[in-house]
A and B are shown apart, each in its own frame.
Chain A
Amino acid sequence: MLIRYITQIGRYFLMLKEIFNKQTKWSVMKNLIFKEIDDLIIGSLGIVAFISFFVGGVVAIQTALNLTNPLIPKYLIGFATRQSVILEFAPTFISVIMAGKMGSFITSSIGTMRVTEQIDALEVMGVNSLNYLVFPKIIALLLYPFLIGIAMFLGVLGGWMAGVYGGFTSSDEFINGAQMDFIPFHIIYAFIKTLIFAMLLATIPSFHGYYMKGGALEVGRASTVSFVWTSVTIILFNYILTQLLLGS
């Protein structure tokens, strides 16, 4: 069991090396990159906006409902919403959701290409199939922080709307809280995490799709396994990066 995991990890790193070998012609690659930006980034805008706005609202309401002590000021609602959204919800929670959305899309599309011999066809033609299939996804996901930036903004906006229009706090109090003790490094920390999660989101599902064996049923299984491993790795890296960047 352990040997199998170690072998898989080794294989994953060999895949990473191969992705950057024998580059596909730029004239072909640029179209692939635009297509991946459309599929992975633009195609996720709607769901990210929807979830961020409403979860931001829920964070604000939950905070307000738990502030039962009259000595605790109301501006804490804005402060807690900002901190939760920027530090954890937008970079980590959205990435776990994207492991399901983008990850299963990547695994199933590459897995289907494996099952229908399209990857063999690329290889037989002399194309570096890993570079052709995975490299554009990595480049497209360099725009992932843009998606997370939108999630941050909409999360705080959702919190403000829920707080103000739900009657839990005033607009001024919420904005004061949202601006209080702001540490710019928290934004840098969030985007560093986001970029690393983007690499995991591009490569782990690709790995599971590329090396899958079998038929349609196995494509479904590979998508599930890919979601589990991408999520686990994101959570693990979240802990390590938080300790490294904010700890001590």
Chain B
Amino acid sequence: MIEVKNVEKSFGGNKILKGISTVFETGKTNLIIGQSGSGKTVLLKSLLGIHTPESGTISFDGRIYSELNPDEKRELRTEIGMVFQGSALFDSMTVAENVGFPLRMFTKDNNSKIQERVDFVLKRVNLTDAHKKLPSEISGGMQKRVAIARAIVNNPKYLFCDEPNSGLDPNTAILIDNLIKEITEEYNITTVINTHDMNSVMEIGEKILFLKDGLKAWEGSKEEIFRTDNEAVVAFVYSSNLFKKVREAYLKE
């Protein structure tokens, strides 16, 4: 469980996060949604320790990040898996080397054990024949799956995904969504996804946090988002006719 309390963050006098408080629950896919500039990425990067909040606390299962010493912070980071928007695969390494990287860095496993684990997670993300390819030789969807495999290879307790569906076709986007949800349940991970994709909200949003102008404007589940009369949420989520109709149909049922 990740607990966020009154987190504030500014850049150059411009306050981006204005006292965000929420809880990201274990074993659930927690989504952060909101318009561009609402503070989603800043919140995610604050959770990851890339940005340091000016005030407030972020605790990982009771461990307050800002109170940890550098070694404890690095230790905590080995429990985190991250899927970046652009996948952030190391382009000088093959797919198998990318996936095995956290194991080579942080475990004492020998090569055959690492290879075994790499094969297992690549199979788990349905990539069985790309081991020796470079990231530049595979498609965007495959790169995302490699990034997910790399993020889960060291059995993380926390999984963060920044726009995991951006730039993907609808079919691949759904596959990636389902894969993240399955992995979250299978390994009982606390998963936090930063997304613009309303399909993801409808499909896998077990806990949704809606940010507007750096403030928490709403939070709830995907079922609750259909029924909410929060104007900001309705204006954002149901801005397209398709989703308006989906909502109407859901409410009629």
Contacts and interface: CB of A to CB of B under 8 A. Distances in A.
Interface in B61-89: 70-71, 73-78, 80, 82, 84-86, 88-89
A125 B78 contact: yes
A126 B86 contact: no
A127 B82 contact: no
A71 interface: no
Given A118-B90, A126-B73, A126-B78, 19 more contacts: A24-B105, A25-B105, A27-B104, A28-B104, A116-B88, A117-B86, A120-B48, A120-B50, A120-B88, A121-B82, A121-B88, A124-B48, A124-B49, A124-B160, A125-B78, A125-B102, A126-B106, A127-B105, A128-B74
A19 B91 CA distance: 22
A28 B102 CA distance: 11
A19 to B, nearest CB: 15
23 contacts: A25-B105, A28-B105, A116-B88, A117-B86, A117-B88, A120-B48, A120-B50, A120-B88, A121-B84, A121-B88, A123-B49, A123-B50, A124-B49, A125-B77, A125-B101, A125-B102, A125-B105, A126-B73, A126-B74, A126-B75, A126-B78, A126-B80, A126-B106
Given A126-B74, A126-B75, A126-B78, A120 B104 contact: no
A120 B90 CA distance: 11
Nearest to A128: B74
A22 interface: yes
Interface size class of A (residues with CB under 8 A): 10 to 19
A125 B98 CA distance: 12
Contacts of A121: 82, 84, 88, 90
Contacts of A28: 104-105
Contacts of B82: 121, 124-125
B104 A117 contact: no
Contacts of A128: 74
A125 B101 CA distance: 10
Interface string A120-163: 11011111100000000000000000000000000000000000
Contacts of B50: 120, 123-124
B43 to A, nearest CB: 15
A117 B75 CA distance: 21
